Amino acid sequence: MTSASVQNKILKGQVTLITRPEAQQNSLRAAIECRGGEWLSLPLLRIVPLTDSDLQAARQHVQDLDNYDVLVFVSLNAASLGAELITDLWPQLPVQQSIIAIGKSTAKLVADLLACEVICPEAGSDSEAVLAIPELQQLADKRIGIFRGQGGRELLAATLRERGASVDYIEVYKREQVQHDAADVAAFAAPDKIDAITVHSGESLHSLAGLLSTARKSILAIPIVVPSARVAKQAEQSGFKQVVNAHGADDASMIKALERIHANAD
């Protein structure tokens, strides 16, 4: 048997429940299938682009894009929808700006869409990891624009302001919770049907935890893959017994974590 065919079978027999928004599941599904695994889908959030009226503030910030020293993209959605808004208003990015992304997948998408160099942490895909990079240490009199969805964590902006920067949110989408019946979820996500769960954000984990009123103990016994130490702690506090930190929300990090779970189950 060739090494390639061995790799293709590395997740054979494992069924993974994917909880990220439906439109963002395809690449992880394909990676699981490529390794012989199976998946089920339970999207917990949906991403909704903002209406033209809701985008007015973001559009104004982007019109003044050349006034920013640093642009930060916090997610794939921020990258795709933010880049769309930028390219509508700027044929070419202003020069001498630092472009930063949270996570390698987001960095690649920004680089592809905006044809620019993008800085991202070598390890980690959360605000804490981005705040540790050298480019965000000395920020006196710097102006920073953060592309993101409505709401979310305040740590990044608050810390950048403490370091002397002026920070604007450039909000280009919103998240909505997908409604599921808790009893149906309990029957669907049972340990005899699911070998692992992937969760890509703290908000998704919060949504999942709210669905665990029925058959709670059995679901909490399923290994759950999370993208960071912060979300791992949140999962443990929610009662999950086997929490695996993938150290990243990208597909490669999630797959490595699933492989570790599968290897330990053999």
Q: Cα(122)–Cα(63) distance, rounded to whole angstroms?
A: 31
Closest among 131, 126, 123, 178 to 152, alpha carbons compared:
126
The answer to whether residue 65 scores a pLDDT higher than 90 is yes
Instruction: Show me where the domains of the chain are located.
Output: 3-44+178-265, 49-175
Give tens-digit pLDDT for 232-249. Answer: 999 999 999 999 999 988
Question: Identity (one letter) of the amino acid at 150?
Answer: Q
Under a CB-based contact definition with an 8 Å cutoff, are residues 45 and 205 in contact? Answer: no
Identical fold, 3-44+178-265 and 49-175: yes
Which contiguous run of DSSP H or E holds residue 167?
strand 166-177
Q: Cα(244)–Cα(47) distance, rounded to whole angstroms?
A: 25
Under a CB-based contact definition with an 8 Å cutoff, are residues 47 and 177 in contact? Answer: no
The more confident residue out of 95 and 262 is 262
In this prediction, residues 68-78 reach a mean pLDDT of: 95
Which contiguous run of DSSP H or E holds residue 250?
none
pLDDT at position 266: 60
pLDDT at position 213: 65
Does domain 3-44+178-265 fall under CATH 3.30.390.30? My reply is no
Give tens-digit pLDDT for 114-134. Answer: 999 999 998 878 899 999 999
Q: Could you name the CATH architecture of 49-175?
A: 3-Layer(aba) Sandwich (3.40)
Distances (CA, A) of 188 to 64, 182, 263: 49, 10, 24
pLDDT at position 8: 67
Worst-scoring range by mean pLDDT, 23-37, 122-136, 139-153, 232-246? 122-136
Under a CB-based contact definition with an 8 Å cutoff, are residues 11 and 32 in contact? Answer: yes
pLDDT at position 123: 80
Q: Please state the separation of Cα 67 from the chain's center in Å.
A: 28
Q: What's the predicted TM-score (pTM) here?
A: 0.84
In this prediction, residues 93-121 reach a mean pLDDT of: 93
Helix (H/G/I), strand (E/B), else coil: 83: helix
The answer to whether residue 4 scores a pLDDT higher than 80 is no
